[in-house]
Structure 1
Amino acid sequence: MADNMSLVVGKSLRQQLRHQVIVLHILVMTFLCINLLLIVIFFKKCFYTTTRYILFAVTLLSDSLIIILSDVLLLMTHFKFTIQIGLCIVLYFPLALYTLVTPVTLTAMTLERYVAICMPLRHGELCSTRNTNYCILIIHGLSSIQCIVVLSIFFTSASLSFYQQNILCSVEIFILYKWQSHVKSAINQFYFLIMFILIVSSYVKIIKVAKTASGENKKSTWKGLRTVILHGFQLLLCLIQLWCPFIEDAVFQINLLLYGQIRYFNYITFYLAPRCLSPLIYGLRDEKFFLALKDYVLCGFVKNGSICVKS
C-alpha cells in the first residue's frame, strides 16, 4: 500500500514538474522577446544619451541574462544533467552578480528621478553620460561583493576532491555550512536595507516638492513619484525573494508536492515578476519610449514607409 502511494506521488510530481517547465518556458520566451524589442528600440532611437534610459537598458540586459541563466539551470536540474564544478562556478558568478545588479540599478534610477525633480538645476551636471558610465561601473562593483564573498568562503572550505565531481549545478552547492548561508543572507539584507532607505527618503522628498509644485511642474513631479513607487514595489518583490528559501525549506519537511507548488509560485512571483515590471515602467508608461515603441512596431508591420518617423 505504501509503495503504491509512493508511486502515485512520484508520478503526480513528475507530471506537475513537466507542466511547470512548459509554462515557465512560455513565460521566459515572452519576456525575452519583449526585452529584446525594447533593447533594439533603445539603440535605434538614440536613447543612449539620457541617463534614465541608459540605466533602463542596464536593467533590461541584466534581467534578460538572469532569465536565460536561471532557465539553463532549471533545464539541467529537470533533465538531471551534471557538469563539473568549474563550469558551475562560471554559470553561478554572472547569475549571482546580475541578481543584485537589477535592484541596485533600480535604486540608481530612483536617485536620478530625485535629482531631476528636487535638484533640476544640477540634473544635467550630475546625470551626464560620463557620470552615468561611472555609475554603471559602481553598480557592478557593489553588486559583485556578495558573490565574491560567497565564492571566497567556498574556495577556502571545499576539499580538493569536491572539484573533481560532476554535480547538478545550483546556487545551493556553494553553501557547504549553515553559517555560510547566514553570511550570504546578512549581506543581502544589508544591501536591501540601504536601498529601501534610499527609495523611501527619495519618495518623501519628492512628495514635498510635489505639494509645492504647480501646473506642468506638478504633473511631471507626480509622474516621477509614481515611478519611484513602482521601483519600490519591484525592490520589495526582490527582497521577499530572499525569504523564499526559508519558507521552501520548512514546506519541504512537511509535503513534497506542496513544496513543488510553493517553489514554482515563488519563482514566478518573486523572481520573474520584478523583472517584468521594468518594461512596464519605461516601455509603456514613459511617453517618449512608448511613442518610439509604437513607431517601431508600426514600421515593422505596415509596408508604407510614410508612417515611419526617422529618429
Structure 2
Amino acid sequence: MDNSSGLHDELSLLQDNAPIIILQILVAVFFSVNVLLIVTFFKKECFHTSMRYILFAVMLFCDSLLLLLSYLLLILIHFNVRMQVGICVVLCLTLTLYFTVTPVTLTAMALERYVAICIPLHHAQLCSTHSTIHVILIIHAIGFTRCIVIFSPFFASASLHVYTQVKFCSVEMFIIYKWQDHVRSAVSQLYFLIMCVVIVFCYVKIMKVAKAASGENKKSTQKGLRTVILHAFQLFLCLIHLWCPLIEAAVLRFNFMLFRKVRLFNYTMFSIAPRCLSPLIYGLRDEAFFLTLKSYAVFGLFRRIGINNRNAH
C-alpha cells in the first residue's frame, strides 16, 4: 500500500513538473539558436552597417535575456521560492523594459522595410548606422515609459526595509494603487494601437508597390511584404503579452494555483512562441544571413573536426 502511494506521489510530481521540463528544453534550444545567430551577426562586417541587421541583433539579445529571466521567475513561482524584494525589483524592471522593447523593435524593423521598398532613394540616409543608434535609444526610452508607470509609485512609497523583505517575485507585487492598473492598461492599449497602425500602414504601402513592380523588383517587394506579414503576426503575439499581466493580476486575487497555470500558459504562448519566429524571419529567410550562418555553423564544424583529426594523427 505504501509502495503504491509512493509511486502515485512520484507520478503526480512528474506530471506537475512535465510542462516545466518541456519548457526548459524549449528555452535551452531557442537560447542556443539565438546565441548562434548573434555570433553570426558579428562574423560579417556588412551586417554592422545595416539597420535591419543591427535591429535584428538587438532583438535577439533582448529575446535571449527575456528567455533566461522570465524562465527563472517562472521556475521560482512554480516551486514557491521567495527572494529579496531588492533583487526582484531589478529582475522585474529588466523584464518590463525588454518585454516592451521587443514589439517596438519589430515595429521599427517593419518601418525599415517600408523605407527600403517604398522610398529606396532615401534609405541610405534614413537608415544609416548613426540613425540606427538614435532608433535604438528611442526604442529603449519608449520601453522605459511603462517601467515608470509601474514602478515609480512603489519607489516613492516603499521604505528601505521593504527591499530586504523576502516575497514571491512578480511584477504584480509593485502594483500598489488601483489607478496603476488602469494607467498600465491604458499605456499598453496605446502601444497596441500605435504599433498596429504602423504595421498596417507599412503593409498597405508595400502592397501598392508590389502591385506596380515587375521582374526582380516584384520578387524583392513580395519578399518584403511577407516579412512585414510575419512581423505583424509576431507583433500580435507580443502585444497580447502586454495584456497578460492584467489577466494574471486578476487571477492572483482569487487563486494562486490557477495563477501559476495561467502564467505558464501565457509564458508559452506569448513569450516563447513569438521569439521562435525571430530566427525564422531573418535567420533562415534572409539569404545573406543564412549563407553566413550556414558557413559558420556547418563548415566551421567540419573544419574543427578536420583540425582535431590531423592533430590526433
Greater mean deviation of Cα atoms: 169-178 or 191-200: 169-178
1:253 Cα deviation (Å)? 8.4
For 2:69, give the aligned amino acid: L
Once the two structures are aligned, what percentage of the paired residues are identical? Answer: 60
Any conservation in 2 of the 1:66–1:98 contact (CA below 8 Å)?
yes
Query: Partners of 2:20 and 2:65 in 1: how far apart?
Result: 19
Query: Partners of 1:73 and 1:106 in 2: how far apart?
Result: 25
For 1:25, give the aligned amino acid: Q
**Corresponding position of 1:5:** none
**Corresponding position of 1:34:** 33
**Corresponding position of 2:85:** 85
Tell me: CA distance 1:141–1:209, structure 2 relative to 1, closer, same or farther (3 Å).
Answer: same
Q: CA RMSD in A?
A: 2.5
1:252 Cα deviation (Å)? 7.1
1:95 Cα deviation (Å)? 0.9
Any conservation in 2 of the 1:158–1:176 contact (CA below 8 Å)?
no
Any conservation in 1 of the 2:146–2:184 contact (CA below 8 Å)?
yes
Q: Encode CA deviations 1:193-242: one digit per residue, 9 max, x unaligned.
A: 11110110111011111111111011111110110111111111112223
1:31 Cα deviation (Å)? 0.6
Query: Partners of 1:85 and 1:145 in 2: how far apart?
Result: 22
For 1:150, give the aligned amino acid: I
2:44 counterpart of 1:45 = yes
TM-score, normalised with respect to structure 2: 0.87
Aligned residues: 297
Gaps of 5+ in 1: 1-9, 307-311
Counting only pairs closer than 5 Å after superposition, residues 102-121 of structure 1 correspond to structure 2 as 102-121=102-121
For 1:37, give the aligned amino acid: L
For 2:282, give the aligned amino acid: Y
Query: Partners of 1:13 and 1:115 in 2: how far apart?
Result: 55
2:271 counterpart of 1:267 = no
**Corresponding position of 1:3:** none
Any conservation in 2 of the 1:299–1:305 contact (CA below 8 Å)?
no
Query: Partners of 2:258 and 2:197 in 1: how far apart?
Result: 35
Gaps of 5+ in 2: 1-8, 307-313
**Corresponding position of 1:128:** 128
Counting only pairs closer than 5 Å after superposition, residues 232-251 of structure 1 correspond to structure 2 as 232-245=232-245, 247=247
TM-score, normalised with respect to structure 1: 0.87
SS, match of residue 303 in structure 1: helix
For 1:220, give the aligned amino acid: S
Query: Partners of 1:138 and 1:125 in 2: how far apart?
Result: 18
Tell me: CA distance 1:298–1:118, structure 2 relative to 1, closer, same or farther (3 Å).
Answer: same
**Corresponding position of 1:7:** none
For 1:218, give the aligned amino acid: K
Tell me: CA distance 1:124–1:130, structure 2 relative to 1, closer, same or farther (3 Å).
Answer: same
Query: Partners of 2:25 and 2:90 in 1: how far apart?
Result: 26
For 1:288, give the aligned amino acid: A
Q: Encode CA deviations 1:49-108: one digit per residue, 9 max, x unaligned.
A: 111000000100000011111122122223333222111111111111111111010011
**Corresponding position of 1:181:** 181
